[in-house]
């Protein structure tokens, strides 16, 4: 049973446009959400997070939106750059519990 | 560079064998986590140690075990290996134990079971 779902295995976006990566979760106890980015042959690196008391968190070109009623979050990257091409993992956790990761979405930024 | 090191980078072995993966956390981090990433799968949490003690267990098979030593490095032991154990194994570390803390991942060990 997948508690964190990333339904798009891959996404292609033109350089300079907005990339939107989506994530759905099923566990209503989750109250902290994270995005990790992974390049080939490297471990995932933390990108941005959001607590359930917020509905938006912004860090430079990256913004995460949380819709608790829909159990949905999204990561927006604006503008998209070639270096953003990577696999993005959505993750969620409940207080003092392990982090559950989604399967990831591979983002391709097209020149 | 996350500061987390994992050895070896690649491991090729045969079914039925036993291997040990090693992880050194970032300096000062007391928590170590192990994850498995199989083909087309997300990162599956296996087990967490905090300051030498097992803290949380995930989808870890009985054939797998781990420990964290006094110097805080950790080892993941995989025995009676099967073809399906072929995967990337990541170690991550964080300062404390709760999941609100960012985890820093190592580069992973790629295990191939033939």
- How does DSSP assign A5-52, residue by residue? E---SEEEEETTS-EEEEEEE--TT--EEEEEEE-TTS--EEEEEEET
From the list A32, A97, A101, which residue is nearest B42 (CB)?
A101
- Inspect the interface and report whether the beta carbons of A43 and B99 lie closer than 8 Å: no
Residues B57-110: tens digit of each pLDDT: 988 999 999 999 999 999 999 999 999 999 999 999 998 766 567 889 999 999
Spatial separation of the C-alpha atoms in residues B54 and A87, rounded to whole Å:
30
- Inspect the interface and report whether the beta carbons of B97 and A89 lie closer than 8 Å: no
Handedness of CA A42, B113, B64, A88 (dihedral sign): positive
Residues A74-87: tens digit of each pLDDT: 999 999 999 999 99
What is the phi/psi pair of residue B44, to 5°? Answer: -100, 120
- Inspect the interface and report whether the beta carbons of B42 and A6 lie closer than 8 Å: yes
Question: Which of 49-78 (A) contact B at CB < 8 A?
Answer: 49
From the list B41, B102, B106, which residue is nearest A46 (CB)?
B102
> A89 contacts in B (CB within 8 Å)?
42-43
Q: Please state the rounded mean pLDDT for residues B35-57.
A: 89
Mean per-residue pLDDT pooled into runs of 10, chain A (111 residues):
90 98 95 93 92 94 97 98 96 82 95 92
């Amino acid at each position: 049973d997948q508690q964190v779902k990333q339904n798009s295995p891959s996404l292609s976006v033109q350089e300079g446009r907005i990339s939107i990566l989506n994530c759905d979760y099923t566990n209503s106890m989750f109250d902290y959400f994270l995005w990790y980015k992974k390049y080939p042959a490297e471990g995932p690196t933390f990108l941005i997070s959001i607590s359930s008391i917020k509905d938006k968190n912004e860090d430079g070109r990256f913004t995460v939106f949380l819709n608790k009623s829909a159990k949905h979050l999204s990561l927006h990257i604006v503008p998209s750059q070639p270096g953003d091409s990577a696999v993005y993992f959505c993750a969620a956790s409940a207080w003092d519990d392990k982090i559950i990761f989604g399967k990831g979405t591979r983002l391709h930024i097209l020149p | 560079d996350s500061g987390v090191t994992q050895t070896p980078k690649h491991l090729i072995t045969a079914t039925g064998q036993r291997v040990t993966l090693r992880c050194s956390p970032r300096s000062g981090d007391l928590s170590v986590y192990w994850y498995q990433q199989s083909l087309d799968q997300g990162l599956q949490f296996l087990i967490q140690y905090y300051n030498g003690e097992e803290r949380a267990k995930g989808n870890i098979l009985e054939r797998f075990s781990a420990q964290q030593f006094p110097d805080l490095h950790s080892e993941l032991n995989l025995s009676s290996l099967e073809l399906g154990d072929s995967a990337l194994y990541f170690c991550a570390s964080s300062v404390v134990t709760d999941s609100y803390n960012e985890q820093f991942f190592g580069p992973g060990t790629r295990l191939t079971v033939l």
